[in-house]
Structure 1
Amino acid sequence: MKIKNNKRKICFVITAGNHYSRSKLILRALQSHRAVDLQLVVGASALLPNYGDVLSELAGDGFVCHAKIVMTLEGGNLVAMAKTAGIGITEFATVFDNLKPDIVVVRGDRYEVLSAAVAAAYLNIPIAHIEGGDVTGTIDESVRHAVTKLAHIHFPTNEQSRRRIIRMGENPRYVFNVGCPGLEFIAKNNYVVSNELVNRLGVGDIVDINKPYLVVMQHSVTSEVGLNGRNVKETLLAVAKLNIPAIWFWPNVDAGTDEISKEIRVFREHQHSKDIRFLKYLPTEQFVGLLKKCSCLIGNSSVGIKESSWLGVPVVNIGTRQQGRMKADNVITVSYDRKKIASAARKQIARGPYKRSGIYFKKNTSQRIVDILSSIELYVQKKFHA
């Protein structure tokens, strides 16, 4: 006799290393929930060794990967992004058809996430979207809102985004301001990082993190392809003039990434990047430990907007990638200009740590998400809610 499984099958999609780290508390709560059968699908850059070893992290934390999706085309250009998204739709459709989840959970605004959302939508699988409703630059802005219109359940990180989602025609009964899961992850732990680990990974000069240092994270802006190399050169020259050791993280896999990578390599070869260490990846717990000790974060990563707001880290936000996103007092935004970048960095370093901001933080974010996912009434056909 076949025993019927009444557990709700919740499929969580992980397409990048930071997706896993920011979602770890949610996954643990889902895994331990008696009424939930957790399915994990890992794909895109989360499978690329240059961007961390997510599969080993999952196994080490006691999670099982139910499917792997190889979908990322190299090239660092617009065509590679578009084709990767297309491949992803095909592969996610196959995986979802095999796993037959009751809900597919996606996070963020990258093109790989759009692939998963499109596949689930056409298979009539309800979609839950974490971190929708934000406003930013690049193609991520369009992707984020497209996923919102495909999704059935929404977990924005702040009140502005919640209201924005509702104005897009989503049912308020299915839109929940839960706060940012990544900030809850940081708030519940006290991570540290060692000199040995930082200087064992990556290339460049040895950096002593027991002394003042900078963290630099500058990704490509997909709507500025052809300009990303020139723009990152301004940051390279600014950081070099500050005469403070820096740990520079490699950019995401996006159109324009190769422009940035080339400029960094040229700079290292011809400018002798003294006191700068370049890393492609640092395990999440150690990255948090590195971030909270740094004198200033420079670049255009959302880490400067969200995680740094809670940690009080001074931030110099460069260019258009985060334009429109809600920012705390710890952020100074400047254009792609070496003098303005250096001036803002000096001001932030002299200012020192800021008071912790709660604009993206709420208590019990992960548990609230899991409580909703495990019990909310599901539906397939969406309607514009006026």
Structure 2
Amino acid sequence: MRKKVLIPLFNRAHYGRLRSVLEAVKKHPELELQLMVGIPAAYDHFLTNIKNSRPHSWISALPWYFRARLLSIIDFFKPGTILKNDFLARGILNDGYAINSRVSLFLDGGTSETMAKSVGLGIMGIVDELKRLKPDVVFVNADRFEMMAVALAASYLNIPIAHNEGGDISGTLDESVRHAITKLSHVHFTATEASRRRVLQMGEDPKLVFTVGSPPIDTIKQLDLKLPKDFASGLDADKPFLLVLLHPVATESKESNAQMAREVLGAIDALGMPTLLLGSNIDAGSDEVGKIVRQWRDSNKLSNVFFTKHLQPNDFYRALANAACAIGNSSSFIREGAYFGTPAVVVGSRQQNRDRGKNIKDAETEAGEIKKAIQYQIKHGRYPSDKLFGSGNTGPAIADVLAKVSPRIQKEFHEV
């Protein structure tokens, strides 16, 4: 009997990064892939969503909530309707994967309150789905707040957890969540040897800690990096352009996140280069970051700045590979950017202390300093490809380990 490996995919970035793992597990003769997707709470918890969400505008949010409710009713009679209308789920289905489970958990608002409540709401749905699917192991990726819900649910159901990219250090709440998931997990996959040493410092069993690299390197190594003509309407990708992706820092105040956004946008404004500006994640503070971006975009009417909330994973990697400089605080600039050799300017504290290659230049949260850092990186040009985070065989390595290990549920602390 094949071992059932459940992989939760709750945001577009994690799906893009884990595709090589999905493919390797799917093809492995001793493993069976189960996929769980996370979707907005409005679909299956309409009244709970109304009560607990904090949208930036109820006027614009309410029509979407009612549409989600309508799709939920249609889905009752025609299963699959919700998944075909959800951005993340639709992309997974279009890539040929079967979705075994969906969990409605994301409350609207991008605040600390909605993050915490989404974890609680998620645990209830995840427990029900884990009991139904009965996986032999749950593969939890990285450090997102929704992954904490998965790890807690699996832990209390005595299901072994395999954790990917533990041992990293960085800024914001992500680091605390990452280390907490490590302590709930039984099998550990690290991107670097330095991360492996940190996992061992936390008392984990050395026999169950494996340095395998970072999964997205597998994908981008095989990807055709040529940008399609229509990937961002109006942007001439044959000319140098900037890629901007700025996430909130959950441990900092609304005012700090808003100021960070203003300073980054001020630097972009001063440079006047064609720019592709992507929407942030939904962490606490995203409401403030999003508001500043919208105000800046609407007031400036800049013809050379192109905004999009979502890019398909492959198009995001193509944009990162071809950008003259990437600016913001995404870990992709550090991991995938190192492999591409893309010059990047990392702003603020969100990625502080994270292992990084030579393509990164850090900048304080001040428009003038950010502008100077961008100019330095553009002048420098592309960096040699850095294999710090792997050389392109992470997915198969993870699948092989999952097939052969059978950890005890009761963990023991291992002294260093």
- Shorter chain as denominator, the TM-score bin is over 0.9
Q: Which residue of structure 1 aligns with residue 412 of structure 2?
A: 383
1:327 corresponding residue in structure 2 = 356
Tell me by how many angstroms 1:53 deviates.
Answer: 2.1
Give the Cα–Cα distance (whole angstroms) in 1 for the partners of residues 226 and 140 of structure 2: 29
| Equivalent-residue separation in structure 1 for 2:398 and 2:298 (angstroms) | 48
Distance (Å, rounded) in 2 between the aligned partners of 1:45 and 1:130: 24
Partner of 2:23: 28
Following superposition, the deviation at residue 356 of structure 1 comes to 0.7
Runs of 4+ in structure 1 displaced over 4 angstroms?
Answer: 44-49
- Secondary structure of the 2:204 match is coil
Distance in 2 separating the partners of 1:219 and 1:128: 26
Shift of 1:191: 2.9
Specify the alignment match of 2:215 in structure 1.
181
What secondary structure does 2:226 align onto?
A: coil
Match of 1:190 among 216, 224, 227: 224
Within 5 A, what are the aligned runs for 1:242-261?
242-261=271-290
Deviations 1:219-250 (A, max 9, x none): 00001122211110001010011121000001
- Tell me if 1:225 matches 2:253: yes
Which residue of the partner structure matches residue 156 of structure 1? 190
| Aligned residue runs from structure 1 range 124-163, under 5 A | 124-163=158-197
1:64 paired residue number:
98
For 2:28 and 2:211, the matched residues in 1 are separated by 22
Shift of 1:52: 7.3
Alignment of 1:1-386 (within 5 A): 6-44=1-39, 53-199=87-233, 206-226=234-254, 227-386=256-415
User: Does the CA-based 8 Å contact 1:242-1:342 persist in structure 2?
Assistant: yes
State the shift of 1:184 in Å. 1.5
- Structure 1 residues without counterparts, runs of 5 or longer: 1-5, 200-205
Distance 2:92 2:371 in 1: 39
d(CA) in 2 for partners of 1:265 and 1:99? Answer: 42
Displacement after TM superposition at 1:45 (Å): 6.6
Deviation at 1:363, TM superposition (A): 4.0
Task: State the distance in 1 between where 2:407 and 2:205 align.
Answer: 13
Change (3 A) 1:341 1:194: same
Q: C-alpha separation between the residues in 2 aligned to 1:304 and 1:258?
A: 23
* Equivalent-residue separation in structure 1 for 2:40 and 2:179 (angstroms): 22
Distance change >3 Å, CA 137–CA 45, structure 1 → 2 = farther
Instruction: Measure the CA separation in 1 of the matches of 2:266 and 2:176.
Output: 32
> Which secondary structure state, in structure 2, belongs to the residue aligned with residue 68 of structure 1?
strand
AA matched with 1:141 = E
Instruction: Report the RMSD for the aligned CA atoms in angstroms.
Output: 1.7
Q: Quote the Cα distance in structure 1 between the aligned partners of 2:340 and 2:3.
A: 36
Look up the equivalent residue of 2:22 and give its one-letter code: L
Q: Aligned equivalents of 1:76 and 1:58: distance in 2?
A: 24
Give the conservation status (yes or no) of the 8 Å contact 2:4–2:135.
yes
Alpha-carbon distance between aligned partners in 1 of 2:142 and 2:380, rounded to the nearest angstrom: 32
In 2 relative to 1, CA 44–144 (structure 1 residues): closer, same or farther, beyond 3 Å?
farther
- 1:149-192 deviations in whole A, cap 9, x for unaligned? 00000001001100000000000100000000011211122232
- Is the contact between residue 215 and residue 392 of structure 2 (CA under 8 Å) also seen in structure 1? no
Q: Given the two structures, how large is their TM-score scaled by the length of structure 1? A: 0.94
Residue segments in structure 2 that go unaligned for 5+ positions in a row: 44-81
* Aligned-partner SS, 1:251: coil
Residue 44 of structure 1, CA deviation: 4.4
Further displaced range: 180-189 or 213-222: 180-189
Residue identity matched to 2:218: E
- Aligned-residue offset at 1:26: 1.3
Percent identity, aligned pairs only? 37
CA, structure 1 residues 269+60, in 2 after alignment: closer, same or farther (shift >3 Å)?
A: closer
Give the conservation status (yes or no) of the 8 Å contact 1:126–1:151: yes
Query: Is 1:267–1:273's contact at 8 Å kept on the other side of the alignment?
Result: no
Contact 1:17 1:52 survives alignment (8 Å)? no
Give the drift of 1:378.
Answer: 2.6
Distance 1:350 1:52 in 2: 41
Q: State the AA in 1 paired with 2:36.
A: V
Question: Is this contact kept in 1: 2:221–2:392, CA < 8 A?
Answer: no
Give the TM-score of the pair, scaled to structure 2. 0.87
Q: Which amino acid aligns with 1:216?
A: V
| Aligned counterparts of 1:236 and 1:214: Cα–Cα separation in 2 | 12
Q: Tell whether the 8 Å contact from 2:215 to 2:394 is kept in structure 1 after alignment.
A: yes
Contact 1:52-1:281 within 8 A present in 2 as well = no
CA distance in 1, matches of 2:117, 2:245: 26
